[in-house]
Amino acid sequence: PSLDDEAKGTLIKYYIKTRNSFNQRQNNPRSADYGISQSDKNQITEIPVTARALEALMRLTEAHARIHLRQIATVADAEVAKAIFMHWRNESNIRDESEFQTGMSQQKQSSTVRIIMQEISDANEGLMKMSQIIDAALVEGISETIVRSAISNLHRGGTIYESQTGTYQWT
């Protein structure tokens, strides 16, 4: 089945509303149902919904229409898909989309990268090679992209500096 324009609009509005509600919570954590604890303001620690979630909602909508043997998915199908999606997120207590995709939140990943860096630094007289950090993080299930992002944030924030190409030290 294909989605009609109204069904697409319903899902896109839900996606935008969810993303915008995150931005409001980020700007005013007191009004949020959950706070954002972050030490570095440049680092977003929670991702409430991603484009993948929007694609999943569209597939759920199409599946609901298919169950009812319809060729066109309607707003009613989209509403059922939204209800299933919200129920699943509430039951699973998933607030951070990155946590679902990797098994740990972005904040926890960054924290783990920092711990890995400290261990490497302690073992190597304060020197931390990018390749060592990435290898250790991969063992922990953290992608190279997340490692590079965490290192970039620490570098930008002045917590570490690059003493040689690909080698870092704490400031």
First-to-last alpha carbon distance for the chain, in angstroms, is 57
Does residue 90 carry a pLDDT above 90? no
The single-letter DSSP state of residue 2 is E
The domains of the chain are located at: 2-102, 106-170
- Spatial separation of the C-alpha atoms in residues 83 and 90, rounded to whole Å: 10
Task: Compute the mean pLDDT over every residue in the chain, rounded to the nearest whole number.
Answer: 81
pLDDT attached to residue 43: 43
Distance CA 106, CA 116 (A): 15
β-pairing verdict for 2-3 and 72-73: parallel
Q: Is the pTM of this model over 0.85?
A: no
User: Is the pLDDT reported for residue 91 higher than 70?
Assistant: yes
Report the share of the chain in percent with pLDDT over 70.
76
Beta strands at 72-73 and 128-129: parallel, antiparallel or unpaired: unpaired
CATH of segment(s) 106-170: 1.10.10.10
Q: In this model, does residue 104 exceed pLDDT 80?
A: no
Say whether pLDDT at 65 is over 90.
yes
Q: List pLDDT tens digits, range 17-58.
A: 887 776 555 554 444 433 334 444 444 445 667 788 889 999
- Sequence-ordered alpha helix ranges (H) in the chain: 5-27, 51-67, 75-92, 97-102, 106-123, 130-139, 144-156
